[in-house]
Amino acid sequence: MPPRFTKLVESLPATVPFVGPETLERDRGAPFAARLGANESVFGPSPRVLKAMEKADREIWKYGDSISHDLRQALAAHHRITPENIVVGEGIDGLLGYLVRLVVEPGDGVVTSSGAYPTFNYHVNGFGGVLEMVPYRDDAEDLPALIARANDTGAKLVYLANPDNPMGSHWRGEDIATALEDLNPDTLFVLDEAYAEFAPAEAAVDLDIEDPRLIRMRTFSKAYGLAGARIGYAIGATPLIRAFEKIRNHFGMNRTAQVAALAALEDQQYLAQVVDQVRASRATIAGVAKDHGLTALPSATNFVTVDMGGTGDQARAMVAALARRGVFVRMPFVAPQDRCIRVSCGTDADMAVLAEHFGPALKDARETAQG
């Protein structure tokens, strides 16, 4: 007899939010020459971080600190809040799962954008929540419409990524703070700030950390170059953060990852160098697009979304054509944003590979889309 799954689990499709690049490499029988699809930092962590990790690995036989004490202390000083306002978890993905488990019961409404980060939707579905989808407006998440839908439906959560993935746009922090004034007081606003280090200063939200309406998610996966370490954190009001202790995996954090994150946080000079490299790479990607008559959308992230024109068929054909040439990129999933492709920033060598193959891939994609 098979395991007696819950009715909810039996009703869910056996899918994952993303197909990993390693799976795609196995399918194509060769590694990618340029890995520009997962929004990782190909610039990697700082030498200081690598040294700290090497030392920490000698004690990997120990469990990690269950409360991430040293890292939370450092994060508190960095953000000028208290450690009680911080919970560390297995990347933003893991923390979103914990948050949904804390708040969402079967049948509860949750508001997000149609085409926004799909892992959030994956968790909501997994706990039986009902997703209320709001379309993008002008290639950006529609903040007023998200607030209005949450108010109309009595949603438990409303999700916004700022800056946004997959489009790279951003909202001003003061606009987010103003929008919260109109939100139902019993709805929690989830602000995913995975790309915050790349964003302009105007994107920062200036609200009291004890404001119960808001929880913010941060990660070491992007700017700090530690995607493989799976370490992120949430900051919010003390009662909300304390509630995570009821359900989180207290020994889920890798010991070396905690040490790496602490060393990364302490090396802000290296972070500034990465941000500069990303800025230069964004300009290069935009230039490649322009050279072929395409438009790169403004980006506050470590990727650039390129408008291919036409329909999603042409964008899908472009992703496939680049993959055949060893260049891994991705694209938005939902129309009309699926007319675009999304290219992560990379090294000069990565950009050279992209520039070499972009034109021939575009020619093939257009022919394929035209039938």
pLDDT tens digits, residue range 129-184?
A: 999 999 999 999 999 999 999 999 999 999 999 999 999 999 999 999 999 999 99
pLDDT tens digits, residue range 43-60?
A: 999 999 999 999 999 999
| pLDDT of the residue at 14 | 84
Q: What percentage of the chain reaches a pLDDT higher than 70? A: 100
User: Is the CB of residue 259 less than 8 Å from the CB of residue 56?
Assistant: yes
Say which CATH class 47-267 falls into: alpha beta
The rounded distance, in Å, linking the Cα atoms of 233 and 89 is 6
| pLDDT of the residue at 183 | 97
* Pairing label, strands 327-328, 130-134: unpaired
CATH architecture of 7-44+269-369: Alpha-Beta Complex (3.90)
User: Is the CB of residue 277 less than 8 Å from the CB of residue 236?
Assistant: no
User: Is the CB of residue 203 less than 8 Å from the CB of residue 172?
Assistant: yes
pLDDT tens digits, residue range 218-273?
A: 999 999 999 999 999 999 999 999 999 999 999 999 999 999 999 999 999 999 99
Answer yes or no: is pLDDT of 16 > 90.
Answer: no
User: Is the CB of residue 118 less than 8 Å from the CB of residue 17?
Assistant: yes
| pLDDT of the residue at 269 | 98
pTM for the predicted model, two decimal places: 0.96
pLDDT band per the 50, 70, 90 thresholds, residue 310:
confident
Domain boundaries, the chain: 7-44+269-369, 47-267
Handedness of CA 285, 49, 90, 236 (dihedral sign): negative
